[in-house]
Amino acid sequence: MAAGSAGCVESVADIIDSSTRIGWIGVSNYDTEPHRFEVQVERGGSTVHESSHGIRGKEDDMLFGEALECTWGDTEGTYRIRSRIDESEWVERSVADAIDGTVDCVTVRVSYGDLGDTLDVFIRENCDDVPTYDGGCAFANE
């Protein structure tokens, strides 16, 4: 069965999942060199968060990073996370493509150097552990 579209094409997972919230997003730099991380959060095709973060390089066993301010709020929707470091190519990940079915709340970690010389966006399927993180959205820290 084929369906026509007169505009933006979404994945099937994006269409099915429209009730997810993001409780926390953090950036981490595993590299020994400092990097500037840019992060964008889109909900339903509109940008709901945009920020830039200068993160120090890893020193010995000390890892540096920070949590993003929760400007996207507690609104449920179809989210995409975009990130890049040092004005490189954008890496994009759909929350709906990363989760298995419908999940109420996710956490996101954007990291560089954790798995080699790559920028990765990790999406976790729940917010149960958010209170152990610094920052995050108030609804996820209740």
- Domain positions in the chain: 13-141
- Give residue 18's pLDDT: 58
Q: Could you read off the pLDDT of 62-81 as tens digits, one per residue?
A: 999 999 999 999 999 999 99
Distance, C-alpha 19 to centroid of its chain:
16
pLDDT higher than threshold 70 for residue 21: yes
Q: Could you read off the pLDDT of 120-129 as tens digits, one per residue?
A: 999 998 787 6
* Global model pTM greater than 0.95: no
- Give residue 136's pLDDT: 83
Contact 105, 127 (CB under 8 A): yes
Helix (H) or strand (E) holding 12: helix 12-16
Looking at domain 13-141, its CATH architecture is: Sandwich (2.60)
The whole-angstrom separation of Cα 136 and Cα 130 is 7
Amino acid at 40: Q
The whole-angstrom separation of Cα 139 and Cα 83 is 24
Of 17-26, 59-68, 82-91, least confident by mean pLDDT is 17-26
